[in-house]
């Protein structure tokens, strides 16, 4: 399943393409972006990331978008639903944005658009997100979109500063908050 273009107020989500590799590569070279991401992503180039994600999408395991500002067509980040199970109707959410664009509400808008798509078009019942302890910006983005913090897996990720806990967030169908609810 390939996503369709989703329009928000300030950004749009467009289906990820192989041609996005260079733009995403420049973002992934920034340690401030990758330090809270899973080890596999920290090691990848943009090309490797796009190939892996699109192969995964091709196998039916998820749907991937790039985040583009309404004003210009260039990818400034990505958001995807992956680990999709049609049986349990759930999937995991992952996203990142270019450092220079942080703090404008774009991730929150992207999360709302992607989750809306997940509930509507993928018929999901539940969306999950895993956040490394200390990633306050990401936790805040999820809370603004209506996610509940559900649990803590102790020392489940290894980063350069040692073992870090992972926080589990969940959003059920009907719980997604729009900008006006927030």
Ligand X SMILES: CC(C)(COP(=O)(O)OP(=O)(O)OC[C@H]1O[C@@H](n2cnc3c(N)ncnc32)[C@H](O)[C@@H]1OP(=O)(O)O)[C@@H](O)C(=O)NCCC(=O)NCCS
Q: Name the 3-class secondary structure at 166.
A: strand
- Kindly state the smallest distance separating residue 92's Cβ from ligand X, in Å: 10
- According to the binding rule CB under 6 A, does residue 137 interact with ligand X? yes
3-state SS, 86-142, equals: CCCCEEEEEEEECHHHCCCCHHHHHHHHHHHHHHHHCCCCEEEEEEECCCHHHHHHH
Per-residue binding string, ligand X, 10-49, x by CB under 6 A, is -----------------------x--xx------------
Binding-site member from 105, 166, 168, 177 for ligand X (CB under 6 A): 105
- According to the binding rule CB under 6 A, does residue 107 interact with ligand X? yes
Given the complex with ligand X, which of 15 and 69 has the nearer CB atom?
A: 69
Contact between residue 10 and residue 106 where contact means Cβ atoms under 8 Å apart: yes
Binding-site member from 10, 140, 148, 158 for ligand X (CB under 6 A): 140
Q: Which residues contact 172 (CB under 8 A, 6 or more apart)?
A: 125, 126
- According to the binding rule CB under 6 A, does residue 97 interact with ligand X? yes
Binding-site member from 49, 65, 95, 117 for ligand X (CB under 6 A): 95
Strands 162-172 and 126-132: antiparallel
Residues that bind ligand X (CB under 6 A): 33, 36-37, 95-97, 102-108, 131, 135-138, 140-141
């Amino acid at each position: 399943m390939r996503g369709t273009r989703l329009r928000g107020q300030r950004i749009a989500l467009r289906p990820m393409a192989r041609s996005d590799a260079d733009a995403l590569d420049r973002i992934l070279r920034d340690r401030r972006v990758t330090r809270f991401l899973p080890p596999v992503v920290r090691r990848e180039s943009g090309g490797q990331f796009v190939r892996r994600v699109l192969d995964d999408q091709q196998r039916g395991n998820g749907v991937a978008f790039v985040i583009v500002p309404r004003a210009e067509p260039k990818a400034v980040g990505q958001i995807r639903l992956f680990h999709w199970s049609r049986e349990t109707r759930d999937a995991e959410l992952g996203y990142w944005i270019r450092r220079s664009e942080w703090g404008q509400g774009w991730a929150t808008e992207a999360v709302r658009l992607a989750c809306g798509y997940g509930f509507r078009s993928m018929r999901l019942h539940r969306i999950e997100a895993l956040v490394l302890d200390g990633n306050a910006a990401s936790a805040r983005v999820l809370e603004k979109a209506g996610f509940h913090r559900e649990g803590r897996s102790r020392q489940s990720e290894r980063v350069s500063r040692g073992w870090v806990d992972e926080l589990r967030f969940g959003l059920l169908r009907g719980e997604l908050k729009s900008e006006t609810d927030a």
